[in-house]
A and B are shown apart, each in its own frame.
Chain A
Amino acid sequence: MNALAPAIVSLHDVGKTFDNGTLALDRFSLDVGDGEFVSLLGPSGCGKSTALRIVAGLSAPSAGAVAWPAGAAKLGFVFQEPTLMPWAKVEANVRLPLRLAHVDETKARAAALKALDHVGLGDFAQHYPRELSGGMKMRASIARALVTEPELLLMDEPFAALDEITRFKLNNDLLMLWQALRRTVIFVTHSVFESVYLSQRIVVMTPRPGRVFADIAIPAPYPRDERFRTSADFAGYCRTVSEALARATGGAS
């Protein structure tokens, strides 16, 4: 972790028990520094998505607390599916958060177009979601999360459903955006390679109930590109993280 950066959000001993009695998270603590790129890595069902939803305020913790040392941060959320409204054009989908906040329409349109430009979809503003490919839909979804200029971007396995070529491309674009905009990102994934490629820090979680098992820094410099993906450093980090993940899951995976 970038020790100098003040935390934008801190989770203290957060627990989450669902109505059916499932304990999803148990004494989960995490500080995320301002401007950091942190990945939550774990097997499916380890509560990493639950942790993200608790940070987003979409789910209430059953125990513990979420603190915002510098005050409540503006949030953007990217779901695993693009989650676009099929009846609205791409531009209107991206503009939605501003519309809900009653932002003046002319301003909102300009902001939506700018966000679409950021993700390389400037020419598709007037298309309907069904006319876009899977990767483009996900870009539109990211543009919508960026349109409010959030301080904290929460991403819940956003690229899990995409093919590898598209995923690599979106990984690179996400890193470029992150470096250009300097937002904080919490990225949930179950891919060791993706988390190592993207993150400054990887939080490895145990399977149900989810706890922090290891907190691994990836000190490789940015910008990272395909050369990093094929480097010995990358392979080394992946081994470290994979081993931690294997121990977290009791060697079962």
Chain B
Amino acid sequence: MNERALRIVLPIVVLALILIAWQSVVSLFAIPSFVLPGPGLVLHTLVSDGALLWHSLLVTLATTVEGFVLAAVGGIGLAVLFSQSRLIEYSLYPYAVILQVTPVVAIAPLLLIYLPQPLAVLACAWIVAFFPVLANTMLGLASVDHNLIALFELYKASRWQLLWNLKLPAALPQTLAGLRIAGGLSLIGAVVAEIAAGSAGAGSGLAYRIAESGYRLNIPRMFAALLLLSAAGIVIFFVLSAASHLILRRWHESAVRREV
């Protein structure tokens, strides 16, 4: 069997083994479904609660996408601002770091006090997701070929031309790497905020469903919701990776097949 097939087949085999083991343990010890539901029941719940869970998924995804877009705009915007003025960078960058290193789980309850819930959830998604965009874009903007900068100087390029025609395109691979991380993080941010809002929340996102189902001992639905969240995370990762590859494939070494 060739390498490529193995990479697909082996994880599937592992998955099948885990599912079989899981189902056997549940059946063998007659574990009640409010303690540990079998994989069959989880799938069944996924279908029977489909409408409810689907709606919740859309709510969480909407927050994630909004958080991601804000993180992209905020991260790239701040990086550009910092690259234009050292004073602004020195003044603000430490606070960006502080926002990043403070666990968002700890910030979420506070945000929920001061902001209406949808806004608080969005703020959480943004706080976790913007930093990798900022840090990567800053690195990209600072790593532009010095000779290319000299060339732009020689032809009397304006600040704007230097930024738009040289620095931003040169930083694009790093920015895209940051965005790829931000996609997964904004989902995490949205989930954390929904969980923190918990029973107090009026929201109906997937994480809220998990918390709610927990209180109601509806464990199969918790698993089903968790499954959907994972799937959402995987889809986000692949969509962003594919987008990054498509954008860079003509020119960047990372996306070009190595000739052997």
Contact = CB atoms under 8 A, between A and B. Distances in A.
Interface of A: 53, 56-58, 75, 77, 79, 81, 83, 85-88, 96-97, 99-101, 128-130, 148
Interface residues of B: mostly helix, strand, loop or mixed? helix
A81 B165 contact: no
Contacts of B156: 100-101
A100 B256 contact: no
B80 interface: no
Given A79-B147, A86-B251, A87-B250, 5 more contacts: A75-B154, A83-B151, A96-B155, A97-B155, A130-B256
A83 to B, nearest CB: 4
B155 A81 contact: no
A123 to B, nearest CB: 18
A86 B169 CA distance: 9
B169 A87 contact: yes
Contacts of A100: 152, 155-157, 161, 165
Nearest to A97: B155
Cβ-closest 3 pairs across A and B? A83-B147, A100-B155, A97-B155
Contact of A56 (B148, B154, B161, B170): B154
A58 B251 contact: no
B113 to A, nearest CB: 46
Contact of A77 (B154, B161, B166): B154
B147 A128 contact: no
B93 to A, nearest CB: 25
Contacts of B153: 58
Contacts of A88: 169
B155 A83 contact: no
B145 interface: yes
A85 B256 contact: no
Max chain A C-beta neighbours (<10 A), residue from B147, B152, B169, B253? B147
10 contacts: A79-B150, A79-B151, A83-B151, A86-B252, A87-B250, A97-B155, A99-B165, A100-B165, A101-B155, A129-B251
Nearest to B153: A58
A134 to B, nearest CB: 15
Interface string B158-171: 00010001100110
A96 B165 contact: yes
Contacts of A77: 150-151, 154
A87 B86 CA distance: 28
Nearest to B156: A100
Nearest to B172: A87
A77 B152 CA distance: 11
Contacts of B256: 130
Contacts of B155: 96-97, 100-101, 148
Contacts of B166: 85
A162 to B, nearest CB: 17
Interface string B112-146: 00000000000000000000000000000000010
Interface in B225-260: 250-253, 256
A85 B169 contact: yes
A204 B161 CA distance: 39
Contacts of B250: 87, 128
A199 B145 CA distance: 30
B246 to A, nearest CB: 14
A41 to B, nearest CB: 22
A81 to B, nearest CB: 6
Nearest to B157: A100
Given A86-B252, A87-B172, A57 B154 contact: yes
Contacts of A57: 154
A183 B23 CA distance: 82
